[in-house]
Structure 1
Amino acid sequence: MSLEDLDDSDIKTLRELLELSRRADPDRRRALCIEIDIDPAEFSAIGTISTHDFVVELIDLLQKRKLETAIYKLSQELQLTFQGSKYVSRLDAIVRKINNEHYVKLDNVITSTSSPIESLNFLNTEISIQGNYLHIFFKVRELFLRFLKSGSSIRKAFIISLIVTSGLVGVRFFAVLEWLELKTFDHLMQARLLEEKEDNRLVIVAIADRDILEQDKRREKGYGNSLRDPSLNKLLAILEQHKPRLIGLDLYRAFRADSAIPDLVNRLQQKNIVTVCKVPATDEEGNTIAPGVPPAPEIVSLENVREKVGFSDFVTDTDGHVRRHLMAQDIIPGTECRTKESFSLLLARRYLEQEQDNKKYKAIIREGENPRIGNFTFPVVQSFTSGYQGIDSSGYQVLLNYRATISGKIAKVLTLEDVFNNKFDGEEINDKIVLVGSYAYQEGPRDEWSTPYGTMNGVTVHAHMVSQILSTVLDGRSLLRVWSQGIEIIWIGVWSFFGGFLVCYWRSLKTIGLVITASILVLYIICLMSLTFASLWIPFIPAGIAFTITSSGLIFIRYLSRKHT
């Protein structure tokens, strides 16, 4: 590129306009040099010489060294400064002369290449880089600088908030923030200002390591890993004396009962006994990737088998945590676990059916509708539900509102040996749901699950699920709720604009820092109070990010605006 096309009048124009623009004032000379890629140290007295002398020295330096790119950038800066003035046409002519020299250089180099192929390769590369990219860069830069100099601060805050909100909605759609939103949800669940009581409709009989060791000492035989047939028969016999409403066995029994204990078969077939099976895990194409577990053979042969068996499967998130309650699902053809209702739903439904006014609590599960029990509807989780983005929402899943008790227990817990040694009150069993499951950590198979409240045994998670249904229907306890996607987008947008508004209102960086910190704290308190008292899960992370990005962006734009004025 060459400066030969620029005549004396063009050079004179650049000098006059540069001096007139005040970009050559002593306090702005260093910034100008840096913007056009000139080292300020080139000028020994950059801060002391007159404006006219600095302008003459600068333009002469650019001419002598043939720094075409620097002159091009300087012309672009002046174009922005004198936009809409009578000088625009003169500056446009200078820019066109300099810009055209790109293509003169191209022609000279192309004709000097050794072959047409080399010329074509060079043409593709040079035109792409020097022609198109440089032009696009300056156009974008020009539009951005126009934006800095035009419109009110509120208008800028509104535009930036729209851009930030749109970007965050897109990022959220692809589940980029899902892990962080779910971890924040766990924190808020634990931080809720609730002191709920244990659910006195439930009792858990926990089979601990000590109970398994005691069975070994008694030399009991059987296939059960944690509870062998002699102990199971003894446990059921003792519980029957205190007339529990239901007994739920969270124990896989894919084998026949010991024929040497004939009473056990009869007890397992009692109406108030509910057992479990496991549905095979399948991939998106329906192929089995993990085997299921069939129900106990003594139960399968009964006519009322669907009133006796519920599936024990949990739905876990990508981090392995249980935050959703799979109440029901369609029966998978060919599986031995042929039940539509979960273990927890079956127990809760049968408990409600034995209430005095049992007609009020009829369970209705229809395809395409939210599950209903009596007048209460359980809203199912959609693929895009608050922090969840694009999840598998098949079946009838609802958010699990864990009971936040003072003791940390969902219900009264007895060990197997407590029951055998009669270390309990009979009223604790009478007319209750008794859940039997493993609490073993060393001696038996571990049935542990990650939850917002830490690790829980599987039978404890089932208890929370049963309690959620009973508490909703009988006590009016709230289910966890979320906003629609549209309202969440508005919420994020409001906080994004609010961040920009605060920056427009306050000028001191120290004050702005304090206000931003206080605003994030207010946002946190709003989300915590909503989850505590309204059981409403409000997005904290997207709103906080939008608020921070917009406020930080406006601070940066304010800095650039001052720099270019």
Structure 2
Amino acid sequence: MNARFWTQIGQHIRVWRVGLLPGLLVIGLVAGARMTGSLQRLEWTAFDRALRSRPLEAPDSRVVIVGINEEDIRSVGKYPIPDRELATLLKAIQSYQPAVMGLDLFRDITTDPDRAELAQLLRASPNLIGIEADVSSVATLKVKPPPELPPTQVGLADIILDPDGKLRRCLLASKVDSGTVKYSLPLLLAAGYLKTKGIALQHGTRASDPIRLGTTTLPRFRAYTGGYVRAKAGGNQLLINFRSHPAPFPVVSMMDVLQGRVKPELMRDRIVLVGVTASHSLNDTIMTDALKGSLLSEATGSTDEYQLLYGIENHAHAISQLISAVLDQRPLLHTWAEGWEYAWILLWGLLGTALGLLLQSPWKTLLGLAIGSMCLVAIAYGGILLSWWLPVVPSLLALSAAGLTTALFDRDSRLLLEQRSLTLKRTYDAVHNGPLQTLAAMLRSVDDLPAETVRSQLQNLNQELRSVYESMQQAVVTGDQHYAQTPIDALLYQVYEDTLKRDLPGFSSIHTFIPPDFTLLKHCTLSTDQKQALCLFLQEALCNVGNHAVAASCLDVICCQEKNCYTLQVIDNGKELAAFDRAASDSPREGRGTAQARELARSLRGRFQRHPHTPHGVVCELIWRSSRSWRLSHLFESMQYLRKRL
């Protein structure tokens, strides 16, 4: 038994070794596709959709947007907003005593005749941060800051978009052409607000150095962060963890402030951003798929899958995530190291390969892969809820593609092995039920036969051995069509007649052949393999009578149905068959015929038995349960058949 066990283990290892190769190849192809950036946009889309589908968060009232909308522009009468009106707006906001103010408007041109009032206000507002654009290598895209503000009160307003034109990251610090390191507007406003809470900004001398706000280290975006491949990661960038809410920040208009319609507590000790929220007058919008709503979508009633953000909204989200990470322990977005991400992809690919090898049924494999995919998506979504971006797209591809490919290759390998095994089995059965039965009959009577008779029987044996090849070749050409297309009762009649024509010694003494009636089996549903096995069972039972029954005078083959069970019996009255049967039962190894009968019984969920027949002979019996419902017509036919015999 140990030898058989280890043999089976070795066979499984060989099958798995063959099945693993295509699975590993597919995993390698998926990993290669990710390395080349072919899956980058799919990963971005999955990342955006996961962020978009998060549960709602509470709005952040610490960041207030003062938006200059279409109505405000019409009230003023021109755009850009003149310096005098802008100065009046900033004075009104300062009267509410905000912690810090961000002016998201370019004010580098000083030719306005009313510039003096705005200039004086800018110089006298240490909590006000202006903007400039100084990161682009294109000179025409650079915009200088208001000259009245010192460099420490100027932040970069540059926006970083991905190749698909969507927003997923923000700039924190960058080294500009002059060689100095400059900070972004969101970082300066967040640092100014946190300073009022006793929390300081810490940074090295290089833009790429880690940035800390108190004890919170901001994770730096790199070229291979998450699903990115060879991204432009200059300076110090951060993935934006958008606040999940259709209206994440309080928004008031310019006229609301100027006309005193704003409650003082809305802006007191807050971060106030002043910028443009005019949907038609200006083209200051950014596209993202990671939000459920925006000011522009609300204003236009847009229901598009993607959302358009105003530039000031982008800054508000970046500021909110920074101060929330420090004050509320709201996690920033994190990713694994690149090596761990590929290990994760490999793990899911191996799981798909294992499912393809273990679940040998195509439907079971598909179901297993579907369940595995749902588990993977659920884990990835759980990671997003915990602010971890896991590689879900390549993992899904590795899982499903490796599983399906392995299942197909494994199925072909197993079919080939099964076909080889079946060919060997059928070849042996053909030899066993043909030439070996003839040889057994010759051995029983070789001493009593004349040489001429022995020569004749040897010639017959030679012909039977040669016919085995021909029959197996014909089986390869035609397959199992003969068994599939011919009714089982006709097949059994043919086996019965052909077997009794064989020159076996036990048949020579039989004078009474009770003809069988196999018509009852027309109602029995059998597979092609079961039909063939049932024919072999009848042939083997008849050959046993012909080879081992001594002085048998009667042979009876009974086929009937009782209590929703089919019964097939081969009965003789020979004197020596029982002794042969006992010897066979005492043998440590059962014969091939007995093994065939037991395999057939297991296949039919029935039982096989060979027992003595009174007063002489043996009954070879196969009983199996009908797969169809019990019918009175079947019982009636059985009773008629038994009545004829009695």
1:348 aligns with 2:190: yes
1:177 aligns with 2:32: no
Per the TM alignment, residue 162 of structure 1 is displaced from its structure 2 partner at its CA by: 2.8
Per the TM alignment, residue 261 of structure 1 is displaced from its structure 2 partner at its CA by: 5.8
Per the TM alignment, residue 226 of structure 1 is displaced from its structure 2 partner at its CA by: 4.0
Aligned equivalent of 1:35: none
- SS in structure 2 at match of 1:206: strand
- SS in structure 2 at match of 1:422: coil
Q: Which amino acid aligns with 1:297?
A: P
1:275 aligns with 2:123: no
- SS in structure 1 at match of 2:110: coil
Q: Which runs of 5+ in 2 are unaligned?
A: 1-10, 292-306, 418-646
Aligned equivalent of 2:161: 316
Aligned equivalent of 1:535: 387
- SS in structure 1 at match of 2:237: strand
- SS in structure 1 at match of 2:126: coil
1:404 aligns with 2:404: no
> 1:159-192 CA deviation, whole Å, 9 max, x = no partner?
3343222222222111111011101110111112
Taking the aligned partners of 1:345 and 1:204, their CA distance within structure 2 comes to 16
Aligned equivalent of 2:82: 228
Aligned equivalent of 2:286: 449
CA contact (8 A) 1:157 1:501 kept: no
Taking the aligned partners of 1:505 and 1:383, their CA distance within structure 2 comes to 39
Taking the aligned partners of 2:229 and 2:140, their CA distance within structure 1 comes to 25
Taking the aligned partners of 2:234 and 2:395, their CA distance within structure 1 comes to 29
Aligned equivalent of 2:104: 250
> 1:92-142 CA deviation, whole Å, 9 max, x = no partner?
xxxxxxxxxxxxxxxxxxxxxxxxxxxxxxxxxxxxxxxxxxxxxxxxxxx
Per the TM alignment, residue 563 of structure 1 is displaced from its structure 2 partner at its CA by: 5.0
Taking the aligned partners of 2:111 and 2:260, their CA distance within structure 1 comes to 25
Q: Give the TM-score of the pair, scaled to structure 1.
A: 0.66
Q: Which amino acid aligns with 1:388?
A: Y
Taking the aligned partners of 2:111 and 2:204, their CA distance within structure 1 comes to 33
Per the TM alignment, residue 153 of structure 1 is displaced from its structure 2 partner at its CA by: 4.0
Q: 1:500-539, aligned counterparts within 5 Å?
A: 500-532=353-385, 534-539=386-391
Specify which of 177, 194, 199 is matched with residue 332 of structure 1: 177
> 1:365-409 CA deviation, whole Å, 9 max, x = no partner?
44353211221111111211120011111100111111112xx12
CA contact (8 A) 1:278 1:294 kept: yes
CA contact (8 A) 2:22 2:409 kept: no
CA contact (8 A) 1:161 1:550 kept: yes
CA contact (8 A) 2:19 2:410 kept: no
Taking the aligned partners of 2:147 and 2:318, their CA distance within structure 1 comes to 26
Aligned equivalent of 1:393: 233
CA contact (8 A) 2:23 2:349 kept: yes
Q: Which amino acid aligns with 1:168?
A: V
Per the TM alignment, residue 508 of structure 1 is displaced from its structure 2 partner at its CA by: 2.1
Specify which of 186, 197, 201 is matched with residue 362 of structure 1: 201
Aligned equivalent of 2:251: 413
1:212 aligns with 2:51: no
CA contact (8 A) 1:208 1:439 kept: yes
Per the TM alignment, residue 206 of structure 1 is displaced from its structure 2 partner at its CA by: 0.7
- SS in structure 2 at match of 1:326: strand
Q: Evaluate the alpha carbon distance shift between residue 400 and residue 156 of structure 1 in structure 2; reply closer, same or farther with a 3 A threshold.
A: farther
Taking the aligned partners of 1:361 and 1:154, their CA distance within structure 2 comes to 59
Taking the aligned partners of 1:422 and 1:509, their CA distance within structure 2 comes to 71
Taking the aligned partners of 1:342 and 1:499, their CA distance within structure 2 comes to 45
Per the TM alignment, residue 466 of structure 1 is displaced from its structure 2 partner at its CA by: 0.8
> 1:239-282 CA deviation, whole Å, 9 max, x = no partner?
12211111111001121163336432211221121110001522
Per the TM alignment, residue 530 of structure 1 is displaced from its structure 2 partner at its CA by: 1.0
Per the TM alignment, residue 157 of structure 1 is displaced from its structure 2 partner at its CA by: 4.5
1:266 aligns with 2:120: yes
Q: Evaluate the alpha carbon distance shift between residue 483 and residue 280 of structure 1 in structure 2; reply closer, same or farther with a 3 A threshold.
A: closer
Q: Which amino acid aligns with 1:277?
A: E
Q: Which amino acid aligns with 1:245?
A: A
> 1:273-317 CA deviation, whole Å, 9 max, x = no partner?
1110001522xxxxx364300011222xxxxx1221001001111
Aligned equivalent of 1:426: 264
Moved more, 419-428 or 156-165: 156-165
Aligned equivalent of 1:373: 213
Per the TM alignment, residue 230 of structure 1 is displaced from its structure 2 partner at its CA by: 2.7
CA contact (8 A) 2:57 2:243 kept: yes
Aligned equivalent of 1:475: 328
Taking the aligned partners of 2:136 and 2:12, their CA distance within structure 1 comes to 59
> 1:39-60 CA deviation, whole Å, 9 max, x = no partner?
xxxxxxxxxxxxxxxxxxxxxx
Q: Which runs of 5+ in 1 are unaligned?
A: 1-148, 283-287, 300-304
> 1:316-335 CA deviation, whole Å, 9 max, x = no partner?
1111111112100112228x
Q: Evaluate the alpha carbon distance shift between residue 157 and residue 485 of structure 1 in structure 2; reply closer, same or farther with a 3 A threshold.
A: farther
- SS in structure 2 at match of 1:491: helix
Taking the aligned partners of 1:154 and 1:563, their CA distance within structure 2 comes to 14
Taking the aligned partners of 2:104 and 2:115, their CA distance within structure 1 comes to 21
CA contact (8 A) 1:403 1:410 kept: yes
Taking the aligned partners of 1:472 and 1:387, their CA distance within structure 2 comes to 23
Aligned equivalent of 2:24: 162
Identify the structure with bigger relative contact order (alpha carbons < 8 Å, sequence gap 6+).
1
Aligned equivalent of 1:54: none
Aligned equivalent of 1:307: 152
1:294 aligns with 2:167: no
CA contact (8 A) 1:181 1:387 kept: yes
Identity %, equivalent residues: 29
Taking the aligned partners of 1:559 and 1:289, their CA distance within structure 2 comes to 63
Q: Evaluate the alpha carbon distance shift between residue 156 and residue 403 of structure 1 in structure 2; reply closer, same or farther with a 3 A threshold.
A: farther
